[in-house]
Amino acid sequence: MNYRIIADSCCDLTQELRKKWGVTTVPLTMTLGEACFVDDDALDLSGFMEEMKNCEDRVGSASPSPMLYKEAFQGSHTSFAVTLSSNLSGSYTSAMLGKAMAEEENADVHVFDSKSATAGEVLVVWKILKLIQDGIPKSGIISSIESFIAEMKTYFVLDNIDNLLKNGRLNKITGKLISVLNLKPIMGSDGHGNITLFSHARGQKQIIEKLADTIEASGRKTDGEDIVITHCNNAGLAERLKDTIKARYHFKEILILPTRGLSSVYTNDKGIVMAF
């Protein structure tokens, strides 16, 4: 059976990897005040980041239309779609509407709510790809990936929390304390796709140590598993985190990727995300 993989643009695969893995991206839209930016390969990310830095209005995003998903799903192949957490975006709802429309024209689609974002989405897509390459049938892929999503862990540390505050994704009192004390919040998914605060750190050394500590504290099996690290203009810290993780754990592969547009909005400059 032939399969296709579709993901929204919060899945931070590079153009090269998308081509290699055969992944189609459905773009979200970012908003800086009244200005709109499509999160596709034509986006000038450095220019967008500079405009975002200077934006005093609301910074936000909009999910892809159901029609964009329908178009991605059309055809004779079975499609697996991966979206960012349904608790953070309407992308999953749009994908489900697109699925319904495409299936009226005999398409075959399954949509996964990653209950995560950025690195978490990449990891789910990676797992789907490996199952396809192993010749696992559709039903086996669905059950395996749903179980994996339920156990997956996603953590991130932000150097700048302004956009989370602007969008109400972080309590203002908590945000003020973090800013005043110059803390770097270590947050992550609560297992249901919501963002929660786990810890905090000061300085890069402590960030690396505490992120590495969360792996052990999570109780998640690491031997022979994969981990994805994404970063927004912070390749050096991502590499140091990778080295620390390699020294302490036995992951099979560690993949580092830069964030694309949508993920860069919420991780903001220097943010780091990991999923395993």
Per DSSP, the residues of 68-93 read HHHHHH-SSSEEEEEES-TTT-SHHH
Contact 177, 197 (CB under 8 A): no
pLDDT band at 188 (very low <50, low <70, confident <90, very high): confident
Given this model, what pLDDT does residue 170 score? 53
Mean of per-residue pLDDT scores for the chain: 91
Is the predicted pLDDT of residue 9 greater than 50, yes or no?
A: yes
Taking residues 206-232, what's their average pLDDT?
95
The domains of the chain are located at: 3-150, 154-275
Residues of the chain with pLDDT > 70, as a percent, come to: 91
Among residues 116, 119, 106, 112, the alpha carbon closest in space to that of 138 is found at 112
In CATH, 154-275 is 3.40.50.10470: no
In CATH, 3-150 is 3.40.50.10170: yes
Token output for 12: 């931070």
Neighbours of 151 (CB within 10 A): 12
Give tens-digit pLDDT for 12-25: 999 999 999 999 99
Amino acid at 117: A
**Lowest mean pLDDT segment, chosen from 43-52, 197-206, 257-266:** 197-206
Given this model, what pLDDT does residue 241 score? 98
* Helix 119-133 and helix 138-151, axial crossing angle in degrees, nearest 10: 150
The model carries a pTM of 0.91
Residue 35 CA to residue 16 CA, distance in Å, equals 29
Residue 125 CA to residue 64 CA, distance in Å, equals 18
Give tens-digit pLDDT for 88-122: 999 999 999 999 999 999 999 999 999 999 999 99
Contact 30, 261 (CB under 8 A): yes
Buried b (16+ CB within 10 A) or exposed e, 254-276: bbbbbbbbbbbbbbbbbbbbbbb
Given this model, what pLDDT does residue 180 score? 43
pLDDT band at 145 (very low <50, low <70, confident <90, very high): very high
* CA dist 274 → 160, 187, 247 (Å): 17, 11, 16
Q: How far apart are the first and last CA of the chain?
A: 28
Is the predicted pLDDT of residue 177 greater than 80, yes or no?
A: no
